[in-house]
Structure 1
Amino acid sequence: MALFDGIRRQLRTVIQWEAPAEGALFQQWQGNGDELKNASKLIVASGQGCIFVYEGKVKTVLNEACLVNLKTDNIPFWTTVSKFMQFFESEHKAHIYFYRRTKILDQKWGTSSPIKYDDPKYKFPVTLLAYGNYSYRIDDPKAFFVNVVGAENNFYIEDFRQVMSSRLVHPLTDFLAESRYSYAEIDANREEIAAGMDAQLKQEFLKMGFAITDFRIEGTDFDEDTLKRINRIANLTAEAQAAEAVGLDYTGIQQLEAMREAARNEGGGAGLGMGLGAGMGMGQMMSQTMGANFSTANNGSSADTDASSSELMQKLAQLKKMYQAELISEDEYSAKKKEILDSM
């Protein structure tokens, strides 16, 4: 039986990639134990490529659909007889490797580790995560075989995804450092960042035999510490804008907040005293902010009365702005409004 099996291997005449493994980019033809002989015919189908390796060296790369007659140093039947005592194994080894020439579309990527850089505008450390998609194809099969596949028999789309993810962090970090985008500008400039990275990635992957196309950044995210810093900046910015709308500076906002917190303190007699003092201070501060010196009586002329009424109307309007900007509570607004109206 061993003799007939050896003869059947010698008679193998057609080599082709009939049923590629799912997700295979590169796959060695095994032939179910058949040997490659000089009478064999190699069929390369549409969308496929083929690398012919003889005695450990790449001899031929077929990058188009074709039919090829193979010629090696193995002679049918003669090898069978001469290698009978060596279990029909020839010392002249030839291997066929098939690969996909078609473009691999819509592949997802994500940074395998956080990207860290210093925000150029706010001067705090940023830790960024990013994700997106890309497409690619095998551009230089020989470089792919030598630099990526190596001693492996098969190489899959998932294998390439891991290679891609491991090489994304460094160029993205470099680009963000050079472009000097603040954290708030990242999403607005995703296309520019992707275009800049695309140029760097193309150079990197061409060395390995791949061509990257349609590289995109779909979204970004920040770690918990960075989000805390971002939210703090957003809150302070909102407070500053609200304060500016009613004529307060940042110090005035902080004083107002401190008085409010003290007024809310209900912890015992000391807290009550503090609350009363803070409440009085708050009232004085709002009066000063609005230019107020309230009087319980109006003894002036008609012109003075008109001026006083106009001033009180301005105070009511400014008080309402403070309430709408959420600088004071509804109770504080009602109490101060009543005080102004009573003074009239």
Structure 2
Amino acid sequence: MAMMDGIKRQLRSVVEWQNPDPDVLFTQWTENGDEIKNASKLIVGPGQGCIFVYEGQVKAVIEQQCMVNLQTDNVPFWTTIKKFMQFFVSEHKVGIYFYRKTKILDQKWGTTSLIKYQDPKYQFPIGLKAYGNYSYQIEDAQAFFVNIVGSHSQVGIDEFRRIISARVIQPISDYLAECGYSYADIDANREEIARGISIKLAIVFRKLGFNISDFRIEGTDFDEDTLRRINRIADLTAEAQAAQAVGLDYAKVQQLDAMREAARNESGAAGAGMGLGAGVALGQNMAQGLTMTTPGANGTADDIAGKLAQLKKLFEAELISEAEYTAKKQELLARF
């Protein structure tokens, strides 16, 4: 019975990757367990490669489409196998792995955690999230087998995508820290950033046995802390520009805002009166300054119109009384 089993195992067979699953990147041939039958043929189809593994070590890689007679053809490592295997039956088993050589296109990536770096312009910490796509291709099958496949009998494209996503964060963080882009410049320079990152990724992934290409950034976003800082900068910038547009000094506008806030938040009637009184006093001083700082004897029409606009703002902010507003207004109008 044992002899018949041995004879059956020697029957001719074909070793090939038939109808490969489009979602599989790397797979072990298991049709005959892990034994190779005598006089078998190995067929490597278009877009495929094949790896011979013996006792956990890669002994040969076939990268071209071909058909090999394992009994007679001079295949690298094949003679070594024969030394250990009697009638192709041995406790030392052979692993045959097929892999996809074609380029895998349009793969999505996204950061699994925040990319953190210091904003070079505003000097506050940035928490960035990003996503995009890329293409890749197995370039060094032996390195890929050692670094990625290991003891797995199969590696799927989805599984490999997760491996890549976990490894892109550090190169992206390093590049953003080196390139000097502020948060406001990222979207405008997305293509340039992607090119710089792809160079760093190519160095990292080449060591793992594959080449990454067409790396693109499709979108970015910031965490809540970063957005709060960004919105604060935007608000302050808008206030400064608005003050400049109406001819007000931004520092004085900030003083007025602080006084108004103090008047609102002081506890008790006396405290409220003190806060409001300080605001009114500052407003009165500024109102007097509207007259004192007017250049020339009468001033130009533009100067006086600007002073009137400032005076109205002080009145609307309740920092001067109606009587003071009316008196100063009449004084400025008299200069026309």
Please tell me the TM-score bracket, short chain as reference. Answer: 0.7 to 0.9
Q: In terms of mean alpha carbon deviation, does 140-149 or 194-203 score higher?
A: 140-149
Q: In terms of mean alpha carbon deviation, does 114-123 or 24-33 score higher?
A: 114-123
| Structure 1 position 24, deviation (Å) | 1.4
Aligned pairs for 1:83-102 within 5 A = 89-91=89-91, 93-102=93-102
1:59-95: CA deviations, max 9, x gaps?
A: 43222332221235669xx839xxxxxxxx5345322
Work out whether residues 10 and 35 of structure 1, in 8 Å CA contact, stay in contact via their aligned partners in 2.
no
> Identity of aligned pairs, percent?
59
Q: Determine helix, strand or coil for the equivalent of 1:31.
A: coil
The yes-or-no answer on 1:225 pairing with 2:225 is yes
| Structure 1 position 136, deviation (Å) | 0.4
Which letter does structure 2 place at the counterpart of 1:132? G
1:178-229: CA deviations, max 9, x gaps?
A: 2111222222222111111111111111111101011112222222222222
Distance 1:242 1:163 in 2: 50
Aligned to 1:66: 66
Work out whether residues 12 and 35 of structure 1, in 8 Å CA contact, stay in contact via their aligned partners in 2.
no
Q: Determine helix, strand or coil for the equivalent of 1:177.
A: helix
Work out whether residues 9 and 37 of structure 2, in 8 Å CA contact, stay in contact via their aligned partners in 1.
no
Q: Determine helix, strand or coil for the equivalent of 2:87.
A: helix
| Structure 1 position 31, deviation (Å) | 0.6
Work out whether residues 243 and 253 of structure 1, in 8 Å CA contact, stay in contact via their aligned partners in 2.
yes
Aligned to 2:142: 142
Distance 1:147 1:308 in 2: 79
Q: Determine helix, strand or coil for the equivalent of 1:168.
A: helix
1:155-182: CA deviations, max 9, x gaps?
A: 1223322321232222222212221112
Distance 1:24 1:109 in 2: 18
Aligned to 1:108: 108
C-alpha distance 61-319 of structure 1, shift in aligned 2 (>3 A) = farther
The yes-or-no answer on 1:239 pairing with 2:247 is no
Work out whether residues 12 and 34 of structure 1, in 8 Å CA contact, stay in contact via their aligned partners in 2.
no
- Give me the CA root mean square deviation: 3.8
Give structure 1 stretches of 5+ with no counterpart. Answer: 81-88, 294-303
Aligned to 1:300: none
C-alpha distance 236-34 of structure 1, shift in aligned 2 (>3 A) = closer
TM-score when normalising by structure 1 = 0.76
Give structure 2 stretches of 5+ with no counterpart. Answer: 72-77
Q: Determine helix, strand or coil for the equivalent of 2:208.
A: coil
The yes-or-no answer on 1:177 pairing with 2:185 is no
Which residue of 75, 79, 83 maps to 2:87?
Answer: 79
Aligned to 2:75: none
Distance 1:57 1:309 in 2: 91
Q: In terms of mean alpha carbon deviation, does 206-215 or 9-18 score higher?
A: 9-18
Distance 1:329 1:284 in 2: 13
Aligned to 1:86: none
Work out whether residues 134 and 215 of structure 2, in 8 Å CA contact, stay in contact via their aligned partners in 1.
yes
Distance 2:258 2:115 in 1: 38
Aligned to 1:84: none
Distance 1:309 1:275 in 2: 35
Aligned to 2:125: 125
Aligned pairs for 1:278-317 within 5 A = 280-281=280-281, 283-284=283-284, 287-288=287-288, 290-291=290-291, 313-317=305-309
C-alpha distance 315-248 of structure 1, shift in aligned 2 (>3 A) = closer
Q: Determine helix, strand or coil for the equivalent of 1:79.
A: coil
Q: Determine helix, strand or coil for the equivalent of 1:165.
A: helix
C-alpha distance 314-165 of structure 1, shift in aligned 2 (>3 A) = closer
TM-score when normalising by structure 2 = 0.78
| Structure 1 position 114, deviation (Å) | 2.2
C-alpha distance 231-124 of structure 1, shift in aligned 2 (>3 A) = same
| Structure 1 position 30, deviation (Å) | 0.5
| Structure 1 position 7, deviation (Å) | 4.2
